[in-house]
Each structure stands twice: as C-alpha cells, then as structure tokens.
A and B are shown apart, each in its own frame.
Chain A
Amino acid sequence: MPELTYREAVRDALSRAMREDDDVFIMGEDIAEMGGSMGVTQGMLDEFGAERVRNTPISEMAIVGTGIGAAMQGMRPVVEIMYQDFLTLSMEQLVNQAAKHRTMSGGQLKVPLTIRTQGGAGWSPGAQHAQQFESWFVHVPGLKVVFPSTPEDVRGLLWSAIYDDNPVVFFEHRLLYPLKGEVPDELEPIPFGKARIMREGADVTVIAIGRMVPEALQAAEEAEALGISVEVLDPRTLLPLDEEAIIASVQKTNRCVTAHEAVTRGGFGAELTAVVQHGAFDHLDAPIERVGAKFGPLAFAPAMEQWAVPHAADVLEAVKRTVARA
C-alpha cells in the first residue's frame, strides 16, 4: 500500500475526481499558481488548466455563492475557504442558500457542492486563523459535515463529499497535513455516517475528532501503562453521525470522554454527550468528560496557545477521572 501525507491524500482525491469527471473543478483564493496557502493544490494548475483550477477574489461570500450556482447547474464544484475562520463571511450563502435549496425546491434542485476548509492551532496563527468551527455547521439542517483525521479517511471521504448531492462542509486540520499514512492502491470511497474504531479498549471510550484523534491515541498508550484500557473512536463525519457505533462502544466500556480542539462550551462534544447519555444511559458508570480548548480567543504567544488548546495529557486526565475512585 502506498504511503501519502494527509495533504497529498486530499490532492489525490481532487485530482482523481477531476481526471475522471469533467464536472468537477476547484475554486478558491490563491489555489492556482500558488497551490493554495497550505500547498494542497500544488501542481494542479499545470495538470488541469486555469478553467478548472480557478483563483477567486477575496470574497468568501462570492466563492460559496458561485459554487452554489455552479452546483445547481449540474457541476460538482469543490471550493476552498483558506481558513475556516473566514467561513463566517460565507454564512449567509451556506446556511440560508446552500443548505435550503434542495428542500425548498421540493427536490427539483440539488446542490452537490463541497466546501473544503482548514484550520487549527499549534503554529501560533492567533485568534483569527486557528479556530475550530465544526459545531456551527452541525446545527444546520441541509448541510453535511466531515472532519477526517487520517490520510486514508481524508481521501475516501473527500471523494464521497464530491459525489454527494448535498452541500458538504469538509474540515481539514492544519497540523494533520504532514501526517503520513498508508492508503489503499485504489481510492475507496468511504461512506458518510460510519465511525472508525481507531483502537479497541475496554474501560473507557474516547470519541475524538480531527487533531484530537492522534492525541487520544497517544493518551490511550499512556493510559495502558497505567492499566486503563482506552477505546478511541473517530466518528469521521459529524453530520450524519454514526450514533449506533458510538452507543455500542460506550455500552461496552461504560465510560466516555469526548475530545476536540474547538472550545468545550457548545462544542461538538456536547452533542456527543447528549447522544451517549440517551443511548447508553443505563450503561454509564461515570459522568461523561469533555475535553476541548479553554473558552477564550487564542493568543499568538506560543506558550499561551499551547496552554489553551487540549493535548494528549488533557485526554489522559479526563480518562483517569472517568475511572477514578475518590
């Protein structure tokens, strides 16, 4: 099996779709000559030309809006929002337009649009370039929300996003781009709504997304040395959510920790917690613990940034609390 970085895996999915299908094109700020601010689309201009690898003006509202229009006209556009912080500027198009047209038209229209974006702390980008907003979009009916954590998953899920007939907000994490991992020779689409058990365990389930998946796996290693067996589950798609797998896991382990880099308050962990308490209420032996960033705008100062966002150590502490004795 070949090994790709997370960044290469994104590019591979885009390129394969564009080779096979003329309806697929990409659009975003500086994605052509520059290859994207994170280098994801490097080389694609040369292969596919300026018609299909399109630079846009600095207007997120226009980027998403034109994407919606193209999608409704039968294309399968993949638009890039350079930082997910800038999704705020496209909210009207995403929430009121992209998410609504299919139902409001009684199914006569569909919006097969993929909105790729990235973000995350860990390299000192400050308060406006490092936020994690996945939970905002999980609250909007009509959207789908994906947040893969491995090269294999990002490739297979991006393919599925492109070929989904609904708008998909596709989150990538800045710190995951250099992460390497094996991928199948042939691109295998990964269906939405299927969680992946990243590691099996018996004592506590950690439901982690994005960067917190590798952090949770590290915490699980450390917990094992303490005699605590940790199961790590990555839902991979937040909307739709594989509630069945999550509930089954917690019913097995009787304890649950949620982990994401976004601030804890109102974060996706709250939704996971609600799912777990309802589906596994009689199986819970400890309060569900939530791990997330501290509730404040991120500082530029690296030490303060590292203090604010969660790491493996925070997951481990939460795991220990769930199995704690007074």
Chain B
Amino acid sequence: MATEVKLPRLGQGMESGTIVKWLKGEGDAVKKREPLYELDTDKVTQEVEAEADGVLLKILIDSGEVDVGKTVAFIGAEGESLSDADAPESDRRGDEQTEETEEPAVEEEDEAETEGSSAPAMDDERRRGQEAAAATAAAASPNLDSGEARIKASPLARRLAREKGIEISELSGSGPEGRIVAEDVERFEIAAPAATPIAAAVGEVEEIQLTSTRKTIARRLTEAWQAPVFQLTISADMTRANELRERLVERLAEGETKPTVSDLLTKVAAAALVRHPAVNAHFTGESIRRFPVAHVGIAVAAPNGLVVPVLRDADRRTIQELAAARADVVTRARGGKLQRADLEDGTFTISNLGMYGIEQFVAVLNPPQAAILAVGATVETPVAREGGVVVRPLMSLTLTCDHRAIDGADGAEFLRTVKELLEEPALAL
C-alpha cells in the first residue's frame, strides 16, 4: 500500500501552502528525508522532505495552493500500482484537477444532499454512478481522481453550509482525513467574495493571485491597523555615525561585509532597546512581555513581498557581525530561501526606506511587537547652530508605538536615546 504524501503543517497557524515545484518526478526513486518539493507558506519558501523510502508513484497536485493535511502525492514500491482505496477524494481548492470521470458522481452527490426525500433512490443512482466511474478509472489506470466521490464533512459543517447556501463541494476540509469541519465553512464564508458582477472594462486588467505571503501580509497588517498607535519623530545628526562607518569600511578585512548605515542603526537601536525595555516588548492581548535581549527584525523587500528576518541578540553583536548576518538574510530573503526560524522571535522592527530617497514615513506595527522604527534618508540640511546656519546630514526617525503597551514618554525616551547614540556612537558601547 502506497504512502500518502500530505501537506505538512510547518508552523503554528499554517492552514495552507503553495506548491512551487517538485524536485522529484513521477517514477523517481526517493529516500526518506530527501527534498521532495518546494513549498511556499505564509512565511517562507522551503523544501519539504520525503517521509518514506520508495518511488514517487504519482503527483496529485503539481503546483498551486493546497490545504494542510491534503494528499499531494503517493510514494510506494517500485512497480506498485495505486488501488482505488488509495485514491483521495476531490479535496483541492482552486485549480482545475477534477477529471471528467468524477463529475457525474459529484453532481449526484449534490442532488442527494439537497433532495433528502428522494435520498434512497439517489443513493442507488449514485452507487451505480460511482461504480461506472470506478470502472472507467480502472481502465485508465492509474487514475487517482476516480473512486469514492462522497465528500467527508461533519454534520455541523453540512448544516452550516446548508444554512448559508454554500455548496459543500466548494469547500476544502482541514479536519482529520480532509474532513470538512465547521471552521472551514466559516472561513469560506469570510473569504468568499461578494458576488457583484462588474462590467468588463476596456483594456487588459492584470489580476494577480495572492500568494500565501501576500495574504499573510494583508491579514497581519489589517490586524495591526486596528491597534491604537501614535507616532513620534526625531532627526539625528549623522555626522559622527557616517565617520564611524567610513572608519569601519577602511579597516575591513578581505571578504568581510561592508557595514551600512542600517547596520549601525540596528546596533544603536538594539542598545537603546535594552535600556528601554518598555519599547522592546510584545503586546499579547493578555499581557505585555518585555524582553531582556533585542531581536531586531529588518524589513526586506523580497520578490514575493515584504519579509522581516530577525537579527537575534543584536544588542550583543558587533556592527561587523550584524552586517554579516544582515547580508546573509537579505540575500536569502531575495532568493526566497528564508527558513521559518529566520522570521521568528523578533522583539522590534526597523523599516528603512532611506535608500529610495524617502525623507520620512510612518511604518505599520508588526504585531505582537509593540513598536516599529521607520527610517528615512540622510539629507544634507541647513541647521541653525550657535547663531549661524550650518549644513548637516540629518536622518529622520519615526517610531510607531502601540499605545496599549507603550506610553508617549517611554517612546520619546527611547527615541532620544537612539538619537544620542547615533550622534555619539561611542556611547553605544
């Protein structure tokens, strides 16, 4: 009997993933722990390993979004053919995959569902339909989409779907063995778009399907938007910080990463965070968690959208170490190679758009973190000093604070420390 390859849950809250590509083809020998396919989850793209030795008999889902727990392929013995018993039910959302042989049976299932009074007759009909489908399938072996067309759904899920006018066949199940449970109906209802047909517009409209990452960004930022926030802005004179950076670059050894203003800022912010733990905090809804170490997330524009890899223990690392760590995660973020662990446990986030010439902006919270720092470009600015006007490189810093966790004075003190440390970097030591 073949082993089902099911879409794994790679982290808490993961409900689905998108298969990017298969690293093995049908008929290839696979070993346990060997990479089998690439999976794009709401956080990262990673390789999923085979859980059994054998031959990749059949790939059910070549690419596209799949719910956790769904069977995506079969691994079995060389020469083994898949029996109907192995065939999973139709359980995938999205892309086409239902073979024609299955359709009659599915339709009858739907009728049986709605016309309870004629159920026994329909049962017979359905059975005959299924037998016919199975027979067709057997002829065209291996055909995994044939077989049992009964959709597994809990009674509660069926009732809710009936009440809400949702066809059970439209749903995909997250319960054991792909069973549709009440939560799936509720989630579908939320996700279902309002059915307002819009007249076709002239010209081409580009419709971009949301990736898992994009959906997560949308969901989390919508949540974050509901937090009561306030912003504080300050400007720092970057003269000394720039000097320090230049000195570090001069002393760079062969093969070392060139530190940037961002790295300096990470170091300075981390030092300020451990001095102001009120800002180095999570707001959980139940409590405020203040952290003794600063794990600083840095917002990176990756091809699939924003990701925030975390530089751990930033307060205890040198600028050079931070530069190397930053270069590593940025490279991997752009290549879609981040692991979940790279994205977890951040206590604070820095978003820097200075390289685009943005002078000042407001960042949206990265929950459950209680604050995020938006960094603008360093701009040569005329400044009044000792009765005269001098030109200084000023950088704007805007701190967004979750007011449920942080009061204005806490945020202001933190920001003042950041400014002082940037203007006198030696104090960060």
* A interface list, Cβ under 8 A from B: 254, 281-286, 321, 324-326
A284 touches B154 (CB 8 A): yes
A282 touches B178 (CB 8 A): no
Provide the residues of chain A in CB contact with B9, threshold 8 Å.
325
* Contacts A254-B182, A283-B156, A325-B69 supplied; 11 other A-B pairs, CB < 8 Å: A282-B155, A283-B155, A284-B155, A285-B154, A286-B181, A325-B68, A325-B175, A325-B176, A326-B69, A326-B174, A326-B178
For the residues of A in contact with B, the DSSP-based class is loop
A326 touches B154 (CB 8 A): no
Size of the B side of the interface (Cβ < 8 Å), in residues, is: 17
B177 touches A285 (CB 8 A): no
A326 touches B156 (CB 8 A): no
Provide the residues of chain A in CB contact with B155, threshold 8 Å.
281-285
B156 touches A284 (CB 8 A): yes
Among A254, A281, A325, which residue has the most Cβ atoms of chain B within 10 A?
A: A325
Provide the residues of chain A in CB contact with B159, threshold 8 Å.
282-283
Provide the residues of chain B in CB contact with A326, threshold 8 Å.
6, 68-69, 174-178
Tell me the bound Cα distance from A324 to B69 in angstroms. 11
Among A254, A281, A326, which residue has the most Cβ atoms of chain B within 10 A?
A: A326
Tell me the bound Cα distance from A325 to B6 in angstroms. 13
Minimum CB distance partner of B162 in chain A: A282
Tell me the bound Cα distance from A325 to B15 in angstroms. 10
Minimum CB distance partner of B158 in chain A: A282
B154 touches A286 (CB 8 A): yes
Provide the residues of chain A in CB contact with B154, threshold 8 Å.
284-286
Least CB distance from B51 to A in Å reads: 14
Provide the residues of chain B in CB contact with A284, threshold 8 Å.
154-156
Provide the residues of chain A in CB contact with B174, threshold 8 Å.
325-326
B176 touches A282 (CB 8 A): no
29 residue pairs A–B, Cβ–Cβ below 8 Å:
A254-B156, A282-B155, A282-B156, A282-B158, A282-B159, A283-B155, A283-B156, A284-B156, A285-B156, A285-B157, A285-B181, A285-B182, A286-B154, A286-B175, A286-B176, A286-B181, A321-B176, A324-B176, A325-B9, A325-B68, A325-B69, A325-B174, A325-B176, A326-B6, A326-B68, A326-B174, A326-B176, A326-B177, A326-B178
Least CB distance from B259 to A in Å reads: 43
A324 touches B158 (CB 8 A): no
Provide the residues of chain A in CB contact with B182, threshold 8 Å.
254, 285
Tell me the bound Cα distance from A321 to B177 in angstroms. 12
Tell me the bound Cα distance from A325 to B176 in angstroms. 5
Least CB distance from A286 to B in Å reads: 6
Provide the residues of chain A in CB contact with B181, threshold 8 Å.
285-286
Least CB distance from B180 to A in Å reads: 10
Minimum CB distance partner of B67 in chain A: A326
The 10 closest A-B pairs by CB, nearest first: A326-B69, A282-B159, A285-B156, A285-B154, A285-B182, A284-B155, A326-B176, A281-B155, A285-B181, A282-B155
Provide the residues of chain B in CB contact with A254, threshold 8 Å.
156, 182
Minimum CB distance partner of A286 in chain B: B154
Scoring B residues 134 to 174 as 1 if CB is less than 8 Å from chain A, else 0, what string do you get? Answer: 00000000000000000000111111000000000000001
Least CB distance from A278 to B in Å reads: 11
Minimum CB distance partner of A283 in chain B: B156
Minimum CB distance partner of B6 in chain A: A326
Provide the residues of chain B in CB contact with A281, threshold 8 Å.
155
Least CB distance from B284 to A in Å reads: 13
